[in-house]
Every structure is written in structure tokens, then in C-alpha cells.
Amino acid sequence: MTSKVIYLGDLRTESEHIQSGSKMLTDAPVDNHGKGEAFSPTDTVANALATCMLTVMGIKAEGLGVNLQGATAEVTKTMASDPRRISRIEVNINFPATYSEKETSILEHTARTCPVLQSLHPDLEKKISFSYS
């Protein structure tokens, strides 16, 4: 088992990661009957894309001897209706430094092949961009 989720009422859930015991709350978004006091379930999907990209790039960077500490990702999720779903995720990754052309190519390729990105439906629009200091 990966996690356990409990419905707390008022459109809020609490998830516990079994291995670590860490917990996360979700709330329904304001535009869907919620309070918007925490990540919504669809926010977590969009956020998972960015965290996956940064994680796999971090793994690759270690092997390249490149320091990614301080890299950030800005995430924008767009919803559609009928049926209600995520229609677009934009991720802009900002690197804390510049890297060689080879390192840049490897890092960007690694990000674009992360497991979360590969798991998202092909109809979901994904806009990924990279910025370097």
C-alpha cells in the first residue's frame, strides 16, 4: 500500500504516505463548492508533474556533477468542463545557473521523460519551458 486517505468532511481529505508517515490535506477548489484552503486533488496532479521533473533532473544532475539546488518550478493548471477535467498544465522550470549545451540538453530531455509526464493522457495539453539564470 502506498497511501491511506480519509475523508474528513466538508470536501476535505487527509492522505498519509505509509512509508514515511507524512500527511497531506486536499480541499475542493472554490470554483467547485470548496473552501480552497489546501491543494485540490487536481492541483496535486499538476504539482506532481513539476516535482517529478525536478526529482528526475536532480538524479541526472548528480551523475553529471551539476548542482540543481535552488531550481524552481512554476505550475499553472487549467480546468475544462463537460466533463470537468484538467485540460492544460504549464510548468516553467527555472534553473539557478547556466549549464553547458550538453548538460542543458540532457536535463531537459530527462524532464520531458519523467514518469508523471509519461502517465498523463495524450489529450491533456502540456506546456513545458525552461529558464536559466
According to CATH, the topology of domain 41-132 is GMP Synthetase; Chain A, domain 3 (3.30.300)
Cis status of the peptide bond prior to 29, with omega within 30 of 0: no
pLDDT, tens only, 79-95: 999 999 999 999 999 99
Three-class DSSP category at 1: coil
Element (H, E) at 40: none
Beta strands in the chain (DSSP E): 3-9, 12-17, 23-27, 72-80, 85-95, 125-132
pLDDT, tens only, 41-81: 999 999 999 999 999 999 999 999 999 999 999 999 999 99
- Band the pLDDT of 133: cuts 50, 70, 90: confident
pLDDT, tens only, 5-49: 999 999 999 999 999 999 999 999 999 999 999 999 999 999 999
Among 15, 73, 29, residue whose Cα is nearest residue 48: 73
Q: Show me where the domains of the chain are located.
A: 3-32, 41-132
Among 46, 86, 70, residue whose Cα is nearest residue 131: 70
* Res 69: pLDDT: 96
User: The whole model's pTM is what?
Assistant: 0.95
